Amino acid sequence: MKFIKLVSYLFLFMLLFSACKKDDFTSEQWSAKAEEKKAEIDKLIASEKCENLNDWNIEKVSNFWCGHVYFPVHKRFKSQFNKLWEEYLALRSNEVNAGIKEGIIYEPCEEYILFNSEPTQLSCVNGKAKLLYIKDLSLSESKIRIAPLKIKIDKYLNNLTCSGTETGVRQYS
């Protein structure tokens, strides 16, 4: 009888601890979860037909300490987008923390800081909202956009004054 009781307790103990949820994922597992969340964000954006650009905005969201990322966001799902983005950032944070425990050395912003540019416009393309970047513009469109910028730069340069004392070199006595 004692043997059956002991086996029953042991079985119950094993069952109890095997049923507990384990949050000790590897960095690769966290990365996969983050990619799933990113796909969910992309699906949300793609689910809304782009018919009126006034209903859409270019959403600038923080990407950790690595600057910003831009998305086309419809006003109808802005709060849902923000929630999903926060969940995505939390998953990426968990990925980095797990990676550090695994001995991975991360270079902050290596993927983002040099290649992340601001979109030039929001457009509807085949019924979908799309952000357009400088690289998406034709040469003639680029020239049209450059002309007003050149005027601003020239005006700025013409208004600069230099008295000759601004050498940029500090002298210490």
Q: Where are the domains of the chain?
A: 24-155
44: part of which helix (H) or strand (E)?
helix 27-47
Q: What is the pLDDT of residue 58?
A: 96
pTM of the entire structure? 0.69
pLDDT per residue over 90-102, tens digit each? 999 999 999 999 9
Confidence class of residue 116 from pLDDT cuts 50, 70 and 90? low
pLDDT per residue over 5-29, tens digit each? 554 555 555 555 554 455 689 999 9
| DSSP per position, 104-165 | PPP-TTTTTTTT----SEEEEETTEEEEE-GGGS-HHHHHHHHHHHHHHHHHHHHH----S-
Q: What is the pLDDT of residue 81?
A: 97
pLDDT per residue over 32-82, tens digit each? 999 999 999 999 999 999 999 999 999 999 877 677 889 999 999 999 999
Average pLDDT, the chain: 83
- What six digits make up the tokens of 10? 């042991």
Q: What is the pLDDT of residue 78?
A: 96
CA 116/CA 93 separation, integer angstroms = 20
